[in-house]
Amino acid sequence: MTAVEDEVRHIETGPAPTRYARGWHCLGLIRDFTDGKPHQIKAFGQKLVVFAGEDGNVNVLDAYCRHMGGDLSQGEVKGNEIACPFHDWRWGGDGRCKSIPYARRVPLRARTAAWPTMVQDGMLFVWNDPEGNPPPADAAIPKIAGYEDPEWTDWVWYTTTIEGANCREIVDNVVDMAHFFYVHYSFPTYFKNIFEGHVATQIMNGVGREDVARPQAAGSDAPKNKGTSSTASYYGPSFMIDDLTYHYEDGNDVPSVLINCHYPIDENSFVLQYGVMVKKLPGLDDEAATGMARKMGDFIRLGFEQDVEIWRNKARIENPLLCEEDGPVYQLRRWYEQFYVDVGEVQAEMTDRFEFEIDTTKPNAAWRREVEENIARRNAAQQEQPV
C-alpha cells in the first residue's frame, strides 16, 4: 500500500456562512397571514413581522420599532399600518412611520427596513439580498399551471423546524442519487442533473423497494404503485417545484406538484416547508381528492423525516470523498455559491449550463441483489417461526 493510499482523509468542516442567500424565499401559505393580525417570523438571523392591512396587501418589516425597540409582532394592525405596542407608532408597509398619535410631526428619518414581497400560487415570498438590490426579472419563479384549476386540489401543507444544520444540507439532495435507496427506500432507475442560470434540476424515475414496508401514497386501498417519475427544479437557492407523477398498476397515473422550500432562521437552523397538490382522478369529489392529497403528503412527510434525522446528526463536510455514482456534488455547490456572493462576483462556472447523467446499471444490480437477499432471509425467518 502506498503512502497516498494509507493516508487518512480528514473532514474539512468549514464554518457555515453568516451571509444569507440572495433570492426569493417562501414564508408559507398566504392564507395564514391574512387574518388581520401581526405574525412573527424568525429568518435571516433576525425577527420579522408579517401583516396584512385593510387594503389586503401583505407586508414584511423588521420586527423591532426604530423608536424604542418595541416588538411590532406583538402590536396591532390598525388600518394599513402596524402599531407598536410600546408607544403606538404606526408603520406602513413601505417601512415609513405614518403617524405618531401623541406627536405634532413624524421625524424625517422615521423609517425601518421593508422587505420586497410577492404573492403567487397561494404562497407568500420575501426577497432577500444582502446588497439591498430589488429582485431582477430573471430571478422569477414560474407559476404553477394547476393552481386554482378546478381539476386540482388546493395545497396540503407541512412545516418543520430543523435545528443544528445549515440549509445547504437539503440542497445537496439534488444530486444525491444513492440516498434515495438507503434513506427513502426507492430504486432510482434514471437520474440526471441539469444546472443553468439560477435553476438546478433533478430528473429521476424510481420504483419502491420490495423488502421495506412502505405505505401507499394514495392509501392502502389503492392499486399497487408501480413507481414514480419526477422533474424537480430549484428556482434560486430555496424554492423547488417538483412535477411528480405516481404510476399505478391499474393504468392510472396521478399527477401531482410537490413544493419543497425553506428559509434560514440563522446559519445553523432553518424552516423546511413542503406542500402537495394533486390532479383529481375521474369520479372523485373534492373531499375525496383532498383526502388523497393528504395521504400523499403524509407519505412524503415520512421521507422528509428520514432526511431530517440524517441532517441533525451528520457533520458539515466541505471536501466530500466521492465515487463515480455520487453525482456532481462539487458542481452543484458551485451553482449554489452564486447566491452567496455579490452579483458582480458571480462567475460563469456558477451559471453556465451543466448536464450529468448517472449510469444506474451497477447501483441497481447491487441493490436488487441486496433486496432479494433481505427477502430471502425474512422468508426463512418466518418459516422457522413455531406454528
The 10s digit of each residue's pLDDT in 5-19 is 678 999 999 888 999
- Among candidates 243, 149, 214, which has minimal Cα distance to 371? 214
Question: What does the alpha-carbon distance between residue 50 and residue 41 come to, in Å, rounded to a whole number?
Answer: 7
Q: Is 1's pLDDT higher than 80?
A: no
Please, what is the Cα angle at 231 between 229 and 236, to 5 degrees? Answer: 155
Rg (C-alpha) for the chain, rounded Å, is: 24
Residue ending a domain, among 105, 139, 173, is 139
Question: What does the alpha-carbon distance between residue 64 and residue 86 come to, in Å, rounded to a whole number?
Answer: 11
Is 387 inside any structural domain? no
DSSP state of 209: -
Residue 37 and residue 165 in one domain: no
Confidence band for 214, pLDDT divided at 50, 70 and 90 = low
Residue 200 and residue 115 in one domain: no
- Per-residue confidence (pLDDT) for residue 2, from 0 to 100: 58
- Mean pLDDT within 184-192: 93
Instruction: Name the range with the highest mean pLDDT among 3-17, 214-228, 232-246.
Output: 232-246
Residue 125 and residue 163 in one domain: no
- Mean pLDDT within 101-116: 96
DSSP state of 111: B
Q: What's 67's domain CATH number?
A: 2.102.10.10
Residue 132 and residue 163 in one domain: no
Confidence band for 107, pLDDT divided at 50, 70 and 90 = very high
Is 237 inside any structural domain? yes
Q: Which of 52-61, 170-179, 232-241, 273-282 has the lowest mean pLDDT?
A: 273-282
Confidence band for 215, pLDDT divided at 50, 70 and 90 = low
* Percent of the chain whose predicted confidence (pLDDT) is above 70: 96
Q: What is the pTM of this model?
A: 0.92
Is 205 inside any structural domain? yes
Is 39 inside any structural domain? yes
Q: Is 275's pLDDT higher than 90?
A: yes
Is 291 inside any structural domain? yes
- Per-residue confidence (pLDDT) for residue 219, from 0 to 100: 55
Encode pLDDT of 323-377 as tens digits. 999 999 999 999 999 999 999 999 999 999 999 999 999 999 999 999 999 999 9
- Mean pLDDT within 125-130: 98
Residue 303 and residue 335 in one domain: yes
CA atoms within 13 A on the CB side of 279: 14
- Per-residue confidence (pLDDT) for residue 348, from 0 to 100: 98
- Per-residue confidence (pLDDT) for residue 295, from 0 to 100: 87
- Mean pLDDT within 224-240: 93
Coil, strand or helix: which one is 177?
Answer: coil
Encode pLDDT of 276-334 as tens digits. 999 988 888 888 888 888 888 888 888 888 898 999 899 999 999 999 999 999 999 99
Q: Is 218's pLDDT higher than 60?
A: no
- Per-residue confidence (pLDDT) for residue 154, from 0 to 100: 93
**Structural domain total, the chain:** 2
pLDDT: which is higher, 292 or 230: 230
- Per-residue confidence (pLDDT) for residue 119, from 0 to 100: 97
Residue 206 and residue 318 in one domain: yes
Is 2 inside any structural domain? no
- Per-residue confidence (pLDDT) for residue 217, from 0 to 100: 58
Q: Specify whether the CB–CB gap between 360 and 188 falls below 8 A.
A: yes
Residue 309 and residue 254 in one domain: yes
Residue 59 and residue 173 in one domain: no
Q: What's 302's domain CATH number?
A: 3.90.380.10
Residue ending a domain, among 107, 139, 171, is 139
Residue 74 and residue 171 in one domain: no
Domain that holds residue 90: 23-139
Is 170 inside any structural domain? yes
Residue 277 and residue 172 in one domain: yes
Residue 100 and residue 176 in one domain: no
Is 381 inside any structural domain? no
CA atoms within 13 A on the CB side of 122: 17
Residues 6+ apart with CB under 8 A from 367: 181, 187, 209
Q: Is 4's pLDDT higher than 80?
A: no
Residue 27 and residue 93 in one domain: yes
Per DSSP, helices labelled H in the chain are 3-6, 168-172, 179-182, 286-313, 329-337, 348-351, 361-384
Encode pLDDT of 74-106 as tens digits. 999 999 999 999 999 999 999 999 999 999 999
Q: Is 384's pLDDT higher than 60?
A: yes
- Among candidates 72, 69, 108, which has minimal Cα distance to 91? 72
